[in-house]
């Protein structure tokens, strides 16, 4: 990985101002409580991927009430995880959480593993989640890099409007160079930069006037040049396979008994071929099971 160098004075100012801002403006989220368990933090990190916190919190609270430990979730049918995933989107995450809980029971005595390597080995856990849980749940200051952190650093340090479409070696190096050397500060830094990106340094209409590092932001000092990368298109929704898959799953969630195949066509009657394709994909992904009376969530 390439190395990055950030001027010590700039870095010191970034640390002081962003950490001070976070101590005053951090959202009061239940998984940030001093008493939050590693399991509660693990759930929050998986649920929050590509999903706004406002949608995550009520589902997170329901899961914690229903399955307060990895043992509890591992003992439930996989279909119940899918059923109670609600409308968080990307429902394969529910299956991966269920698989991860069973792996924790089988390999780690029902506990969330403490090492980055063991976390990364869990089903459905990638680099971001492993680093975030290691840092936020276990105080191990791994370099956490999510979309918000990438955007703050590329603006404040690199002077560009937006990060590249995919994480680059340069971004990894800058994120590593930006980490405070103090262990406690480093863990707080991970959360603080992420929060700044979520609340102030947003992709669209950033609130630069509220930014604690406005005067030293390289993007501001360069005159806020526009993004020079490829055009970024928003994700379509209406009529997509994602929408139809979601409707099929919602019908199965709302129906305690198996649903007959003919009834599934009601979710998108204008295109039965699309329903067939989406249903086949859901079965292949393990989110839906064919049974004698039709289709149901997995047992």
pLDDT, tens digit only, all 299 positions of the chain? 457 889 999 999 999 999 999 999 999 999 999 999 999 999 999 999 989 999 999 999 999 999 999 999 999 999 999 999 988 989 999 999 999 999 999 999 999 999 999 999 999 999 999 999 999 999 999 999 999 999 999 999 999 999 999 999 999 999 999 999 999 999 999 999 999 999 999 999 999 999 999 999 999 999 999 987 766 565 677 889 999 999 999 999 999 889 999 999 999 999 999 999 999 999 999 999 999 999 999 98
Third-level CATH fold of 8-26+143-221: Endonuclease Iii, domain 2 (1.10.1670)
The architecture of the domain spanning 30-138 is Orthogonal Bundle (1.10)
Residue the block writes with tokens 């936020």: 136
Structure tokens at 79: 């279909």
Side-chain half-sphere of 67: how many Cα atoms within 13 Å?
26
What local confidence, expressed as pLDDT, does residue 1 receive? 47
Give the active site residues.
45
């Amino acid at each position: 990985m390439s190395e990055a160098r950030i001027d010590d004075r700039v870095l010191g100012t970034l640390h002081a101002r962003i950490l001070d801002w976070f101590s005053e403006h951090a959202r009061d989220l239940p998984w940030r409580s001093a008493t939050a368990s590693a399991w509660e933090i693990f759930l929050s990190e998986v649920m929050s991927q590509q999903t706004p916190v406002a949608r995550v919190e009520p589902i997170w609270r329901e899961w914690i009430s229903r399955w307060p430990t990895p043992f509890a979730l591992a003992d439930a049918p996989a279909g119940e995880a899918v059923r109670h995933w609600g409308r968080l989107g990307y429902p394969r995450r529910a299956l991966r959480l269920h698989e991860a809980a069973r792996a924790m029971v089988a390999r780690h005595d029902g506990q969330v593993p403490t090492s980055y390597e063991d976390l990364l080995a869990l089903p459905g856990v990638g680099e971001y989640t492993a680093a975030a849980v290691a840092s936020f749940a276990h105080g191990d200051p791994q370099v956490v890099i999510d979309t918000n952190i990438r955007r703050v650093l590329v603006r404040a340090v690199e002077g560009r409007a937006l990060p590249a479409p995919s994480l680059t070696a340069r971004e990894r190096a800058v994120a590593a160079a930006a980490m405070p050397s103090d262990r406690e500060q480093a863990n707080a830094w991970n959360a603080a930069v992420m929060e700044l990106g979520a609340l102030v340094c947003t992709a669209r209409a950033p609130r630069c006037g509220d930014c604690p590092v406005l005067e030293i932001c390289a993007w501001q000092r360069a005159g806020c040049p526009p993004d020079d990368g490829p055009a970024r298109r928003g994700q379509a929704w209406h009529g997509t396979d994602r929408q139809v898959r979601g409707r099929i799953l919602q019908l199965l969630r709302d129906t305690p008994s198996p649903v007959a195949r003919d009834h599934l066509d009601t979710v998108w009657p204008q295109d039965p071929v699309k329903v067939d394709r989406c249903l086949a994909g859901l079965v292949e992904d393990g989110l839906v099971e064919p049974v004698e009376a039709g289709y149901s969530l997995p047992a």
